Amino acid sequence: DIQMTQSPSSLSASVGDRVTITCQASQDIGSYVNWFQQKPGKAPKLLIYDADTMATGIPSRFSGSGSGTDFTFTISSLQPEDIATYFCQQYDILPLTFGGGSKVEIK
């Protein structure tokens, strides 16, 4: 199975800060990465697919980049409603696998 190592596992930032989360795959997976946001008690929500393509209706402050084994998810200006846990997921090779999650809190 492809391991997705996500970091940090948690972070605290101020409103307006730039937030960056990384995900490293255990082997080359091209650009086959999704990023999800999960708020407490809710299902995950797709934000980014194909490593850098925004899903429909997603605010432009969210972005993704990377290819191969190293991927980055960025919130350009943290908003209070962005408090959530963020997950990466690869779909290059089955089984589909997810990163461990990054919990984002407001400082």
Cross-strand partners of 36: 46, 87
Q: Are 73 and 20 in contact (CB under 8 A)?
A: yes
Which one of the spans 17-25, 30-38, 59-67, 73-81 is the region binding other proteins (CB under 8 A)?
30-38
Q: Which burial class, exposed, middle or buried, applies to 99 when counting CB atoms under 10 A from its CB (0-12, 13-18, 19+)?
A: buried
Of 18-26, 40-48, 62-70, 71-79: span binding other proteins (CB under 8 A):
40-48
Residue 92 engages other proteins in binding (rule: CB under 8 A) = yes
Binding mask 8-27 for other proteins (x = CB under 8 A): --------------------
Q: How far is the CB of 33 from other proteins (least distance, A)?
A: 10
Q: Cα separation of 99 and 107, whole Å?
A: 24
3-state secondary structure 85-107: EEEEEECCCCCCEECCCEEEEEC
Task: Give alpha helix (H) positions in 12-92.
Answer: none
Residue of 16, 43, 60, 107 that binds other proteins (CB under 8 A): 43
Q: Which of 16, 42, 57, 81 binds other proteins (CB under 8 A)?
A: 42
Note the residues at the interface with other proteins (CB under 8 A): 1, 32, 34, 36, 42-46, 49-50, 55, 87, 89, 91-92, 94-101
